[in-house]
Amino acid sequence: MNAQALITALEELRVALASVELPLVVPGSEEQRGARHEVLGQLDDYVLPRLRQIEAPLLAVVGGSTGAGKSTLVNSVIGQKVTQPGVLRPTTRSPVLAFNPADADWFTDARILPDLARTSAASSDPRSLQLVPVDSVPAGLAILDAPDIDSVEVRNRTLAAQLLAAADLWLFVTSAARYADQVPWDFLRAAAERSAAVAIVLDRIPPGAEDEVATHLQEMLQQRGLERSPLFAVTEGPVDDAGLLPAVAVERIRTWLEGLAADANARAAVVRQTLDGAIRSVARRSEEVATAHAGQVEMTQRLEVDVTRAYAEARRDVAEASADGSLLRGEVLARWQEFVGTGELLRSLETRVGWVRDRVGGWFKGKPQQAERVTVAVESGLESLLIEHAEAAAERAWRSWSSVEAGKRLLETGDRDLGRASRDFRREAERTVRDWQQGVLEMVRTEGADKRTTARFLAFGVNGLSVALMVVVFAHTAGVTGAEAGIAGGSAVLGQKLLEAVFGDQAVRRLAEHAREDLEQRVEALYATESARYLAVLDGLRLDPAGTESLRFAVQRVAALSTTEGTAR
């Protein structure tokens, strides 16, 4: 009833599946990516074309191990040499599709297996499909000779898997020497899981061993839930001049296939069984892909948090170190003390001695130049803070990414320099500090616009006052950190006094607050460009968190529709 709705739902599922990529390397991601690829292929090669044209001929794919005699078997069943068997392993040639000429229209266009080019001649290109119209193939049935599933030739294996996924019916060929091999059984297990229609051909049995081997194989099939699949035993025997087995050896297979072709109901039942199983398997595996995708999204979020945390820590460290007065020791302190000179300055502020003295003093002491020296000292101190913490943050981020497989792989493929601060970081840090100092200067200049003429403003100048403001900023929390309080606190008090004398204490508090916020914003912006190098790697993965949901939704729709469809039929 609702085939069209199911087709639409499956098409939507296909789109959703195609849009979720699994770029990260996590445990099992190789298989998950493979599963996604296979499901996409199965939708294109089999489920969608079969649903659209439910009356198309039944496609029986002959698959199996290398050397099991697939080609000879196909030729013998058809009764005509349509495909070239070889003794050399693995036989590399394009797969052969044999069908009744009446069915030609079904196969010449790209309805199924759209990515295989159609040819009419034998070739060794595994990306093409050789079409052979033969009268002896009954109408309504097509036989496809697939490459082996287990040889060293990787292309054969992937193509075989693709062709088997596109089959209405598997004709699985194994041999007496091989029936216990692991690889074919992996395929059969997969077939059993999605309840595909399978017939098993046990080929090349040494004469006399038919019963023992066939019984053993039957037991194995039973253990693995495939006991309902027909089992055909073919004894190893001489081939005739045309390379065909005696007709009697393949008689049972031939009759069975012809019966299937003649009985439209039986054929439809086989198609339905495989198709329903395929849709169920598509839904189940898509759900797995959705889970894998959710896991990948979670992993990228974790990696992102690692980076953000590493740089947040750097920002916090810089903020603390630039507020607790540690910048005011060593070089900066020495320059600051030179600048403010001896206690006379303090006295002059307290006793408010007139401007002449300030001016004269300033003239002789050359204060603007000394203010410059404090600025330079502040710059180099701040710079080394910024650089070191950028390096440390890069290293921390690198470490935490390295601790998970996915992160490690991203680092391996990405820029080798991610573990260090970026190359021109020193220059950027210099610029940031200088811009901030410029900003402080501007702030003081604006604030002092109407105080230009007062004595003290003139005495210390914009430079001197902005230096004092920086000192106050750097000693922001110094009062509470014990050991630092003595020296840094003292300097800050001095700076504070100086500023208050010029601007008044309200304004000083506001200015210091502004300058501090300005510094923090600039540092944040600086580190944001650093962490962006890591985040760009994650962005490059193009993992859309919404993809999981839309895929899950599509899966649910398909599941719901296929159940009602199944019961309706």
Partner 1 sequence: MTSLVHGAKRLVGRGGSPVGERLTALETAAATARGRLDDDVVDRAENVVRRGAGRLALSGDHTVVALAGATGSGKSSTFNALSGVPIAAVSVRRPTTSATTGVAWGEDDAAEVLDWLGVQRRHQVPPSPEAADLDGLVLLDLPDHDSTEVAHHLEVDRLVQLVDMLVWVLDPQKYADAALHQRYLRPLASHKDVMIVVLNHIDEVAPADRGPMVKDLEKLLADDGLAGVPVLATSAKHGDGIAELRALVTRRVREKKAVAARLAADVTSVAQELQRENGTVDPGQVQRADKAELVDAFADAAGVPTVTRAVQRSVARRGSQHTGWLVTSWLTKLKPDPLRRLHLDMGEEGKQLTGLGRASVPEPTRVQRARVDGAVRSVAGGIGSQLTPPWADAVRRASVSRLDDLNDALDRAVVGTDLGVSRTPLWWRIAKLLQVLFALCLLGGLLWLAALAVLGYLQMPTPDAPEEYGLPLPTLLLLLGLVGGLALAFIGRFVNGLVAKSRARSADRRLRAAISGVTDELVLAPIDAELSAYAEVRRALAAALR
The smaller minimum CB distance to partner 1, of residues 229 and 556, is found at 229
Distance CA 477, CA 321 (A): 10
Give Cα separations from 384 to 108, 237, 389, 439 (angstroms).
72, 85, 8, 20
- Using the minimum distance from each CB to partner 1, give the nearer residue, 287 or 388: 388
Q: Which is nearer to partner 1, 260 or 478 (CB)?
A: 478
Q: Per rule CB under 8 A, is residue 376 in the interface with partner 1? A: no
Q: How far is the CB of 388 from partner 1 (least distance, A)?
A: 4
- Closest alpha carbon to 98 in 45, 139, 67, 66: 139
Residue 178 near partner 1 by CB under 8 A? yes
Buried b (16+ CB within 10 A) or exposed e, 105-126: ebbeeebbbeebeeeeeeeeeb
Q: Which is nearer to partner 1, 122 or 214 (CB)?
A: 214
Residues of this chain, 68-107, that bind partner 1 according to CB under 8 A: 68, 87-90
Binding residue count for partner 1, defined by CB under 8 A: 54
SS3 call for 72: helix
List the structure tokens of 206. Answer: 């040494």
Distance CA 197, CA 285 (A): 19
Q: Checking DSSP bridges between strand 128-133 and strand 197-205, what pairing results, if any?
A: unpaired
Piece in contact with partner 1 (CB under 8 A), picked from 129-137, 158-166, 304-312, 329-337: 329-337
Strand partners, 198: 170
Is 15 a binder of partner 1 (CB under 8 A)?
A: no
Distance (Å, whole) CA 159 – CA 139: 26
Residue 548 CB, nearest distance to partner 1 (Å)? Answer: 33
> Whole-angstrom distance between the N-terminal and C-terminal Cα of the chain?
8
Strand order across the beta sheet in which 128-133 lies: 117-119, 128-133, 96-99, 141-148, 58-64, 169-175, 197-205, 231-235
94/112 Cα distance (integer angstroms): 16
Q: Does residue number 214 form part of the binding site for partner 1 (CB under 8 A)? A: no
Q: Indicate the residue among 68 and 511 with the shorter CB distance to partner 1.
A: 68
Alpha-carbon distance 366 to 204, whole Å? 106
* Residue 430 found at the interface with partner 1 (CB under 8 A): no
Q: Cα dist. 271→146, 372, 415, 552 in Å?
A: 19, 88, 52, 27
Q: How far is the CB of 152 from partner 1 (least distance, A)?
A: 5
Question: Phi, psi (5° rounding) for residue 121?
Answer: -115, 155
Euclidean distance between CA atoms 503 and 515, whole angstroms: 15
- Lay out the site mask for partner 1 across 140-159 (x = CB under 8 A, - = otherwise): ----------xxxxx--x--
Select from 185, 256, 355, 553 the one that contacts partner 1 (CB under 8 A).
185
Q: Minimum distance from CB of 212 to partner 1 (Å)?
A: 6
Stretch that binds partner 1, among 160-168, 201-209, 302-310, 524-532 (CB under 8 A): 201-209
Q: How far apart are CA 285 and CA 190, in angstroms?
A: 12
Minimum CB–partner distance for residue 353 and partner 1 (Å): 26
State which of residues 81, 111, 118, 216 lies at the interface with partner 1 (CB under 8 A). 216
Q: Are strands 128-133 and 141-148 parallel, antiparallel or unpaired?
A: unpaired
Interaction pattern, residues 388-417, with partner 1; x per rule: CB under 8 A: xx-xx--x----------------------
Among 288-296, 302-310, 365-373, 383-391, which window interacts with partner 1 (CB under 8 A)? 383-391
26-34 own/partner pairs: CB under 8 Å, 24+ apart: 26/295, 26/296, 26/299, 26/405, 26/406, 27/405, 28/292, 29/292, 29/296, 32/288, 32/289, 32/292
Both structure tokens of 81:
């040499």
CB of 416 to partner 1, least distance (A): 9
- Specify the residue, 460 or 474, whose C-beta has the smaller distance to partner 1: 474
Residue 316 touches partner 1, criterion: CB under 8 A: no
- Binding span for partner 1 by CB under 8 A among 75-83, 273-281, 360-368, 384-392: 384-392
Show contacts with partner 1 in window 234-293 (CB under 8 A).
none
Omega of the bond leading into 90 within 30 degrees of 0 (cis): yes
Rounded least distance, CB 330 to partner 1, Å? 6
- In angstroms, what is the minimal distance from the CB of 213 to partner 1? 6
Stretch of 16-24, 76-84, 93-101, 326-334 lying at the interface with partner 1 (CB under 8 A): 326-334
Of the candidate residues 55, 240, 251, 320, the single one contacting partner 1 (CB under 8 A): 320
- CB of 31 vs partner 1, minimal distance in Å: 17
CB 130 within 8 Å of CB 94: yes
Q: Per CB under 8 A, does 489 bind partner 1? A: no
Give the shortest CB-6-to-partner 1 separation in angstroms: 37
The residues that touch partner 1, with contacts defined as CB under 8 A, are: 65-68, 87-90, 150-154, 157, 175-183, 185, 204, 206, 209, 212-213, 216, 220, 317, 320-321, 324, 326-327, 329-331, 334, 381, 384-385, 387-389, 391-392, 395, 420, 483-484, 487
